[in-house]
Structure 1
Amino acid sequence: MEVAGGSSPRGGRLAAYGAVSFSLALCSDRELCDLMDTAAPMGAGIGGTSALLEVDGTPVR
């Protein structure tokens, strides 16, 4: 997981990762599937597809 806008200082980035992780940990499998269904496709490559998702106001790609 990469929080979009990686130019933030390390502490802010870690706080954002923690908040996103906590928010996703509270989701059921069904809620996670529904959340992924709302993600905006970004592209595809050798490693598969990528998408942009917003979790509690934090963009995640």
Structure 2
Amino acid sequence: MVKRKDRPQDVDVYAEGGLYENINAKRQRIAKGSGEKMRKPGAPGAPTAAAFKASAKTAKR
């Protein structure tokens, strides 16, 4: 999760995070009680298998 100085502290910016960082951030928000839900595989807007494969190529090891 990337914090920007020009935005309030409670606003998260996801553009630079990557797929796994965004998933982790959402899980943390859910754990804090945000009321959000994870999308089911195959649901509109959910990451595709191709997205996971592409992110695995650029993952930090």
TM-score by length of 1: 0.30
Q: Which one has a larger percent helix, Structure 1 or Structure 2? A: 1
TM-score by length of 2: 0.30
Q: Which one has a larger percent strand, Structure 1 or Structure 2? A: 1
Q: Which has the higher contact order (CA 8 A, sep 6+)?
A: 1
